[in-house]
Amino acid sequence: MIIIKLQGGIGNQMFQYAFGRSLSLKRKDSLRLDTCFYKNIKSGDTPREFKLNNFNIKANIVETNSFSKSTKFLWKVVNGIGLKIHKDFHVRFHPLFLNMRTKKFIGFFQSYKYFSDYEKEIREDLTLKIQLPEKAIELIEQIKNSASVSIHVRCGDYLTNKENLKNYGVCSPDHYQNAISKIKEKIDKPIFYIFSDNINWVKSNLKTDENFIFVSDNNFDETVELELMSNCKNNIIANGSFSWWGAWLNKNHNKIVIAPRKWTNIANFDTIDLIPDDWIKI
C-alpha cells in the first residue's frame, strides 16, 4: 500500500494525489491518503480543507496520522537537501521518487511529469462527483457557447501572509493586462470569466473595458469553480496550483494557456517541470 500525507489547499492535494495515483498504477498497488493535516492546522496558518472527496478519486482515506516520527524525519531530510540543491525543489521533477522502495511519501510533487504516463486515468479520477448548483450549470453552458477565457487571480495568503507576500506575491494588474492583450491577438471577441479568492481586490485593481463575468461573485465551492474554469476554452492562470489545475484539466485540444513567467520572487526559481511546453509564459 502506498500512503501519501496530504497537505495544503486543493491544488496541492491534486498534485499529491496525482503523484500517488500514478505510483500506485505503476506498482499495481493500492493508494491511501492520510488527511490528518486537516485536523491539526495550527492557529495563524491558512485554513485548509480536504476537498478531494468531491472527485472520483481511487484511494482509501484515513484521518489518523499513519507516519512515524522516523518517517517524518526522513522526508524532512530529503526535502531539506532538495531545497538546498534546488530553490524550487517542489516544482522540479525528481524521477528517483518514482523508484524509491518506500511506501510512505511526504511532499508536494508539483510537476506534471510525475503523472504524464497516466494522464488519462488522472483526468478521469479528477472529475467531479458532486451535483453542480443550477447557476453553475447555466454558466457552463454559457462558457461552452462563447470564446471563453478563464482568468484566475490568486490572492488569499499571498496578500495576508507577510512571508508568502515576500516569496510569491500576487500577479500584477499589468501581467493580466498583457495576458488579455495576448489572448486578443489570437481569439476574436473573447469573453473573460474571472475567478478569485478575493474578487473585490480584483474589481479594485484590474481596471478594464473588457467583457468580464465575475464568477466568484456566486460564492461557489472551490471545486465547483475549478470545474467551471476547466470548461473555459482558454485560460489565464495565476502563480498557484489551483489555477494550474483549472488549465491542465481543460480538455480543449486547441486551448491557449497563459502562465506567469515569474512564478515566485525566489531567485533561480525554475518552472521547467511545472509549466508544460505548449503553455505561453509572459
CATH number for the domain that contains residue 165: 3.40.50
Whether 115 and 165 map to the same domain: the answer is no
Whether 44 and 166 map to the same domain: the answer is no
By three-state DSSP, how is residue 239 classified? Answer: coil
Whether 70 and 160 map to the same domain: the answer is no
Domain end position, chosen among 125, 159, 185: 125
Cα 241 from Cα 251, distance rounded (Å): 18
What DSSP designation does 150 have?
A: E
By three-state DSSP, how is residue 26 classified? Answer: helix
Cα 33 from Cα 38, distance rounded (Å): 12
Closest CA relative to residue 271, chosen from 89, 78, 130? 89
Can you state the angle between helices 10-27 and 222-231, rounded to 10 degrees? Answer: 70
Can you state the angle between helices 241-248 and 10-27, rounded to 10 degrees? Answer: 60
Whether 121 and 139 map to the same domain: the answer is no
Q: What is the mean pLDDT of residues 45-49?
A: 77
Whether 120 and 231 map to the same domain: the answer is no
By three-state DSSP, how is residue 31 classified? Answer: strand
Range from 39-48, 75-84, 194-203 carrying the lowest mean pLDDT? 75-84
Residue 95 in this model has a pLDDT that exceeds 70? yes
| Cα–Cα separations (whole angstroms), residue 199 to 12, 108, 170, 211, 239 | 22, 27, 13, 16, 16
Whether 140 and 277 map to the same domain: the answer is yes
Whether 94 and 143 map to the same domain: the answer is no
Per-residue pLDDT at 86:
57
Whether 269 and 146 map to the same domain: the answer is yes
Residue-range definition of the domain harbouring residue 210: 134-281
Q: What angle do CA 109, 110, 112 make, to 5 degrees?
A: 105
Strands 31-34 and 60-62: parallel
- Number of domains composing the chain: 2
Q: What is the mean pLDDT of residues 75-96?
A: 67
Q: What phi, psi does 195 have (nearest 5°)?
A: -125, 135
Domain end position, chosen among 125, 146, 165: 125
Can you state the angle between helices 134-144 and 222-231, rounded to 10 degrees? Answer: 20
Q: What is the mean pLDDT of residues 117-134?
A: 97
Per-residue pLDDT at 207:
81
Whether 172 and 275 map to the same domain: the answer is yes
What's the whole-model pTM score? 0.90
Domain end position, chosen among 125, 160, 194: 125
Higher pLDDT, 247 or 272: 247
